[in-house]
Every structure is written in C-alpha cells, then in structure tokens.
Structure 1
Amino acid sequence: MANRRDPHAGLHSEQGALRGEHPGRVTNPIVKVHDVAWLEFEKPDLRRAEVFAHAFGFETSLRTSDELQLRGTDPGAPCVLIRRGSRSRFLGPAFLAADANDVLRLANATGRTVAALPESLGGVAVDLTDPSGLRVRVVSDTHRLPALPPQEPLVLNAGHDLARTNATQRPPREPAKVQRLGHVVLQTTTYRATLDWYLAHLGLIVSDFLFHSGQRARGPVMSFIRCDRGSTPTDHHTLAMTLGPTNRYVHSAYQVADFDALAAGGEHLLDAGYHRSWGIGRHIQGSQIFDYWRDPDGFLVEHFTDGDLFDCTLEPGWAPMTASGLAQWGPPATKDFMGIAPGRESLRELRGVFAALRDDNEFDLHRLRGLLKVASS
C-alpha cells in the first residue's frame, strides 16, 4: 500500500489527505449502490421538454399525457423521468442497488417501506430523505430496455498512428446520441452531514475533495463521489456535492460517443436556438470533455465524453476550488454556469445567502468569502 504510486500526485491535485482529514469513505456502509439509475423532474410543458430532449440526443421510451420517460442508447432503465407539474422542479435521483435484498436492507435500517414501482419501470424501491431534504430513491429489478443503435465513434489518425486512409471525416451536424446518464451535481447548505449520509447509506466513496483557498483547515466544500464496485472501474463521479447557500440541483451529465459527436451535436443545438452555458472544454476532476446547455426550463445539462474511471483502490485527491481550476482547457467558466449571471437563478441564490447566514447550517461568513473568491479566481 505504501509503495503504490499516488495517482493524484500531479499537476492538478495535491498529494492527498493530511492527517485527520476526511477519509472519503466509511468502513461499513449499509449497502453499496452500483450506479445512478435515473433523475426525476416535474415540468409544466412536456411537449417543450420532449422537443429539447430530442435535440439534446435522448430518445422517448414512454409518453403519456402526464409523464415523459427519456432514454439513451445503452440498455437499462430510462435516464430521465419527467412528470407534468404546475412548476419546474427537480424531485430527486434514483440509484441502482445490487439486488432487492439491498433495497430491503436499506428499508430496515432506516425504518422505511419497500414499494413496487409503476409497471412502466418495474422493480421495487425504497424512498429515503438526505439531510438536505432531498428525496433519494434506491431501486432494483427494474425493466431493462433493449439497446438502441449507437452513434459510432470516428476512426481517428492520432499523430503517426494511422488508422484511416483513403477516407474523409464528415461528422453530420445532428443530435449527439445520449448513451447513458453519468452523474448529477447537487448543492447543499449541510455539505458535511449530507456527504457523510451518502457514504454511510449508499456506500459511495470520494474521488476528489475541493476546499476554499486559505480554508483547508475548515474542511472540504465540494466532493466528487463514485460508486464502490471493488475492482470494477466506475465513473470518477456519479454524484458531486458542493456547499452553497441553497439546497438545489446544479446539473446532470450524459455520455456521448466521442468529441465529434459532442461538438457536432452542439452545433445542432445552436442551430435550433438553444443556449450554450459553457464549453467546449476538458475538466480537471474527472477529465471529461464537456459542453453545458440550458434547457427551456432553466435546468443545466451536460454532454460529456472520455471521463476517468477509478476502482476502489484510489484514495481521494485534494485541491483548492477555483473557477480557473474547473477546466484544463477551454473558454473561461461563464457567469451563467457559475450561477451569477443576472436573472432568476442568481436572485434566488442571493436571497438564499441571506437566509443561510441567518439559519443554523454550514454556510457562514467564512464560507461566503471563500465562495466569492472562487468566482473571481
């Protein structure tokens, strides 16, 4: 163990935890979930949501007058469930358990009840509530939709490694086909309590911690968290969590085939009149090539490709949180992506700052100063 190379000892991350810092995992979690299953939303206009979803690269797997289920090309459950509601809001994530026994184990440990899911989904679920008040659903034995024809990645000539001759590259300007849901990012006023809840209840483990500059001794303020499937590599983060003045959805991310699919799909979205929030670039934590978009209801969604995969052996990396540290290359993070562009979202955050400073939570004046430094760094 002591001789193992530290994969975080590089340009973008510090050497790892200092003595006494958060270990990024718990020894005996109740269960270890295998993946994120889907995300659930309410929106007032399902037709408008579906038009954007198709431009973004989803396929419709179910449409009724009151519900829309969206899927990628990979086999499995739908990626996104949208129900008709009077206003747009995020209802919560669903995570996939190893089997029904784990769902029952969670229910017994938390005093909850296992319930059958609707026939359109199949399987069973237990509904929990995290410390920030968000409903968290854990499911098993859901119906598996068959795979759809994928968008094939291009054959590339990489330097002198020539794989393509007597053939041109002509990627069409069309929707980037979503393959699967990759991760969801949440903001919470009770970051440490909420983080520890996910590690203890769902067996997630931290890939990277971020801290406010000059405040490392006060602990981390963001974590990128992956599933623990032992020696089986999993996404660098299935869930990311950050401390902030409000409890809210930040964004969700969906994998596409390759860089050309992502870029050409972005041009298709621009042609259709949709708003690019930030991109194209390559992240540091997770390494994904990214492109962020606003849907018509204001939710931030990401196309990504070429993300990191870690097994259970890697310990968390530690790095300062900065706006410039969000990407290795690409345009600077926009005010829209940072949530500080003039508009309803920034006004809600500003009102949330005053409310959070009055309430008993983890967002105090020191954290506010740290967050303001991030926006200007």
Structure 2
Amino acid sequence: MMDHHDPHAGLHSEQGSLKGEHPGRAANPIIKVHDLAWLEFCKPDLQRAESFAHAFGFTTALHTADELHLRGTDAGSPCVLIRKGTRSRLIGPAFQAADPSDVLRLAQATGRKAAPLPESLGGLAVDLPDPSGNRVRVVSGTHDLAALPAQVPLTFNFGHAAARTNGTQRPPRAPAKVQRLGHVVMQTTRYIETLNWYLQHLGLIVSDFLYYPGQRGRGPVMSFIRCDRGMTPTDHHTLAMTLGPVNRYVHSAYQVADLDALAAGGQHLLELGYRRSWGIGRHIQGSQIFDYWRDPDGFLVEHFSDGDLFDCTLEPGWAPMTASGLAQWGPPATKDFLGLAPGREPLRELRGIVRALREDNEFDLHRLRGLLKVASS
C-alpha cells in the first residue's frame, strides 16, 4: 500500500483541520489571480528610498519627480512602485490576473469600473477595497520588462559530492540582486472577514493556519496564503495575514539567488550603516532562508531564498503561534522584529489596542491575552 506522506505532519504542524474548522479556500471564487504583481507605497523622500533600494539589490526602472519604480532581475513588472507623499505608508498590493478577461469579470461582479493604467505600466486594472481598508488592485496586460543579468548561484560541494574542484568560493560583499517580489504580510483587526474576502474575490488558498496557544477552538489568527494555479506549484505564501490591534503593513519579501547572496548582501548593508531587524535563519512555515532589514522609513523588508512551492492539492496545516516557533534555526526573534522594541511602532500598537477593544472587530480581550502569550513565548 502506497504511503502518502503529508509534509505538514510531524514536528511543526498538526495534520490537517479538525471538523468544522476553516477549509482554507472558497468553493467558487470570482477569479483566481496568477501572482503578486507589485506593491505600491507612498514615501516623502524618493532619493533616500532609492539609495536604500540599490543597496538592498533593486534596480531602478523609472524615476521621476513624483514616482519611483524598482525592479528585480526577472522579466515582468516592477516589484515596487513608490509615489511621493507626505508620509510613509503602504497604498496596497497589485495582483496579476490569470486571464485578461478576469479584470472585467471582477469589476462586473463587484460593481467597480476597470480603467487603463498609466503608459509607464500599461494594461488594465480594477481597484477594490478589502475589509481592512487596503486598496487591492488586479491588473492584466501590463508591459513586461526584459530580464536583467541575474546573480548566478554558487556551485556547492555537498558532503562527498564534489561538484567544484580546483576552485574557490569568494562571493563579494555586494548588493544581493533581487530576483522578484515574493510576498507581503499585513495585519488586520478583521482577520477572518478579510481572509474570506481574499479567498472569495481572488481565489487564493491557505497553506498554513496558526492559532493562539489554547485558543484553537476560537479559530486561527494567522494564515499563509498562496495563489491557486492548479497543478503548477506556487510560492507557499504570496500573502500572509495576521490578526492584530491595528490595520497595517508588516513586511514584504524579495527572492535572491542563494544563501551566499543573502549573507554577503547583508554584510554590504551593514557596512553602509543599515539596520538588520532579524536573521539569518530558516523559517518553519514556508521553509525559506530569511534576513530582515529596516529601510530608512522604518519599513520591514526581507531577503529570502529556497522557499517552499505547493500545488493546489495540499490542504492547510495547523500549528500554534509562538515566537520561538518562527524559525527552524537562527537567532531568537528580536524585539524589533516582534514590534516590542522602543519606538513609534510599539506606541502605535499600544494605542491601537485601546481603540480596538472599544470597537466592533475580531480583536477582543481573549485575543489580546493570546497575543501577549505569543510575545512572551
């Protein structure tokens, strides 16, 4: 009899859902998006943003007085669009429709209007507000930028398998060349409502659920969500969503060639005076090697490599959320990464807790106790 191994079972994730728990996908979504196209931000200083972007490993695709487009080496859309604005904030994600007709289908189903994008991007878009107030854009027919010369992964000698002889490894301390945008993580006070919106409107499916220890019966509080391309494997998560006292951007992640590119690129960032938030390590959900940095505006950005790829057949894993359970190996999660270090962000979260507990949303006293237990774990 064939043994069907479930990669979610074992050390880190419990095997599958219990009866009556969230299925992790919509039965009949309006469309199914193909990928994350780009992220749009507002920032007051485009020159400062560009300087960090180049050190992080992006290439400038467009720079005007009011707009900055940053790209990776892969062909396709820019990874990040930055508009000049009075304060730094995430405007929202843009997703690539699987078929050009899907933009019109989504517009018709939601009572919105599809509109042409600027000539610098090309194509058509429909904009929707998610339940957390983010602007979500679905695009099709955008211009594809040609591929740039990529960073070549090193040749490794694994154990006794000697693929490299009479040669040395000398990776330079230089920017890790970003290949592409991988995922974005957002926090919301209306987690289940917002999760269901993305599953129903964009056809995303959940790879892993996390719940607060002792509160599994109250449902999950975080999900790692991927695109549904049928039997074509996709990133373990294109979007991750977590419950919290404030609706906000958490971080975004960008793929690089390998561990050496990530580590040498990190040394380059340190030498330029930029601040590592947490790393280097390997995550559990998603399995990717990670390294987190703060940009000059305080936004968290991640270099990653060697992430999991799932097709549509894999059902969600379930696991308790703990701070110590964020990595298979690496240094302990820092206070900066967890949002506990002194600064503006923790103060905003504290004020947000007071507001959230007064409002009608999913962040109540039980959830607050669960979050505090995670932070102390």
> Same fold by TM (over 0.5)?
yes
Does residue 183 in structure 1 map to residue 180 in structure 2?
A: no
Pairing of 1:6-45 with structure 2 (within 5 A): 6-45=6-45
State the Cα deviation string for residues 274-325 of structure 1 (Å, max 9, x = none): 0000000000000000000000001000000000000000000000000000
Distance 1:3 1:109, change over 3 A: farther
How far apart are the structure 2 equivalents of 1:289 and 1:358? 39
Q: SS at the partner of 1:167?
A: coil
The residue identity in structure 2 corresponding to 1:321 is M
State the Cα deviation string for residues 298-357 of structure 1 (Å, max 9, x = none): 100000000000000000000000000000000000011001111000000000000000
State the 1:98 CA deviation. Answer: 1.2
State the 1:4 CA deviation. Answer: 3.7
Contact 1:57–1:177 (Cα < 8 Å) also in 2: yes
How far apart are the structure 2 equivalents of 1:316 and 1:253? 21
The residue identity in structure 1 corresponding to 2:79 is C
How far apart are the structure 2 equivalents of 1:3 and 1:126? 45
The residue identity in structure 2 corresponding to 1:96 is Q
Does residue 209 in structure 1 map to residue 190 in structure 2?
A: no
The residue identity in structure 2 corresponding to 1:71 is R
How far apart are the structure 1 equivalents of 2:103 and 2:4? 35
How far apart are the structure 1 equivalents of 2:302 and 2:152? 20
TM-score (norm 1): 0.99
Question: Who is 1:336 aligned against?
Answer: 336
Does residue 196 in structure 1 map to residue 196 in structure 2?
A: yes
How far apart are the structure 2 equivalents of 1:7 and 1:156? 26
Question: Who is 1:155 aligned against?
Answer: 155
Question: Who is 1:104 aligned against?
Answer: 104
State the Cα deviation string for residues 183-239 of structure 1 (Å, max 9, x = none): 000000000000000000000000000000000000000000000000000000000
Question: Who is 1:224 aligned against?
Answer: 224
How far apart are the structure 2 equivalents of 1:203 and 1:10? 28
Pairing of 1:1-377 with structure 2 (within 5 A): 4-377=4-377
Identity of aligned residues (%): 81
How far apart are the structure 2 equivalents of 1:96 and 1:4? 33
Q: CA RMSD in A?
A: 0.8
How far apart are the structure 2 equivalents of 1:226 and 1:198? 11
Q: SS at the partner of 1:357?
A: helix
State the 1:5 CA deviation. Answer: 2.8
State the 1:29 CA deviation. Answer: 0.2
How far apart are the structure 2 equivalents of 1:28 and 1:182? 26
The residue identity in structure 1 corresponding to 2:316 is P
How far apart are the structure 1 equivalents of 2:100 and 2:147? 23
Q: SS at the partner of 2:157?
A: coil
State the Cα deviation string for residues 41-89 of structure 1 (Å, max 9, x = none): 0001000000000000000000001000000000000000001001111
Q: SS at the partner of 1:328?
A: strand
TM-score (norm 2): 0.99
How far apart are the structure 2 equivalents of 1:218 and 1:45? 43
State the Cα deviation string for residues 112-159 of structure 1 (Å, max 9, x = none): 000000000000000001011110000001000000000000000000
Q: SS at the partner of 1:373?
A: helix
Q: SS at the partner of 1:251?
A: strand
How far apart are the structure 2 equivalents of 1:339 and 1:263? 24
Contact 1:100–1:141 (Cα < 8 Å) also in 2: yes
Instruction: Name structure 1 gaps, 5 residues minimum.
Output: none
Q: List 4+ stretches of structure 1 deviating above 3 A.
A: none
State the 1:3 CA deviation. Answer: 6.8
How far apart are the structure 1 equivalents of 2:319 and 2:214? 11
Counting matched residue pairs gives: 376
How far apart are the structure 2 equivalents of 1:351 and 1:107? 36
State the 1:376 CA deviation. Answer: 1.0
The residue identity in structure 2 corresponding to 1:297 is D
Contact 1:99–1:141 (Cα < 8 Å) also in 2: no
Contact 1:280–1:291 (Cα < 8 Å) also in 2: yes
The residue identity in structure 1 corresponding to 2:62 is L
How far apart are the structure 1 equivalents of 2:159 and 2:6? 29
Q: SS at the partner of 2:95?
A: strand
